[in-house]
Structure 1
């Protein structure tokens, strides 16, 4: 791809653009979070444009470097957007913390040459690429790959804690609403308790009338023997 771009540059008699360092940011102490587009979907100074959807799935532990050299920290997040490849990184290197631009190193798997007859607009459109590294630099290939946000790590941690507390609170509210909705959906049910009865309702034994006839008791074997003895003694007298 680079050879074909150089051929087109010679054809249109265009010299390579000069590399001019950008102004450094003020020095800061401690670890800082940097955010911005590492690969904007625009044409850079090398006549290359990374399409927004060109990136292969990003692997874990993408290195964060200072000017494609020494380690500068660690990459926290890489995501594709319609404007390009967005990066959030934790920067520890003091010189890297003064850089206002990102850059990338990538393996190109597919590209297309566009507007080859136009001296001002010819470029290579990258259609498929693998991200190899992200770097902080003061000599960006794409001036649009500028740092958008820079803040202390402690502030980032505090913001994340606030977000997590908000998520937990929202989950609690959702759970409470589900319980309320479930209670309203089920019709109320009455639980039968013990039946209370008045003393007047309890069964009572009826009193026996004074002149009521008594029912004879059935004779037992002992009673029959006693009656027989009494009858015999009467006859003897």
Structure 2
């Protein structure tokens, strides 16, 4: 296993990267309606009394400390959602007990990563014929300060294994336990490109919607098309 101490730290750099989310999941307006944690807690408690669905929409708020939520930024809900709606099956750097905000250095990188995972998931659904999935493109500005650079490891390293996430998850857990903000790593689905795994949303300064894209399923993802402009 690679220990966090074996990886170089990244500096204070503001970067722009990209992400796709399924358009059936709307942004959680409550995160974007308040300026700080105290306002959020007050408004959440009031709205929860009259809107039981709010609990499901906001997700598991206990999974993220309030001080890590970047209230007041454009797209706060997009930045926060991966940490309150955690996939219990896990991901490359998480065993499913905590959330990660994944970003690609280009839109093409984000599309390649999501296409692979959608293909893998829907291939396991018996009897699925033709279908269409729509995704919302997001442009994210963030600071990679206090992140670790796993991109120094070659693509052949177990951390970058195509489908075996065991070593990557150990690194993700150790990096989070060390209080680091995330990891930069190599894109497995688009070799030559970079990705980021943000372990906290607090480093995000803006995350806004761009264009919409559709993925066509016909015994596999057969095409990816942009269907709206940014």
Give TM-score scaled by structure 2 length. 0.23
Point out the structure with the larger helix share: 2
Relative CO higher for 1 or 2, CA cutoff 8 Å, sep ≥ 6?
A: 2
Q: Which has the larger Rg? A: 1
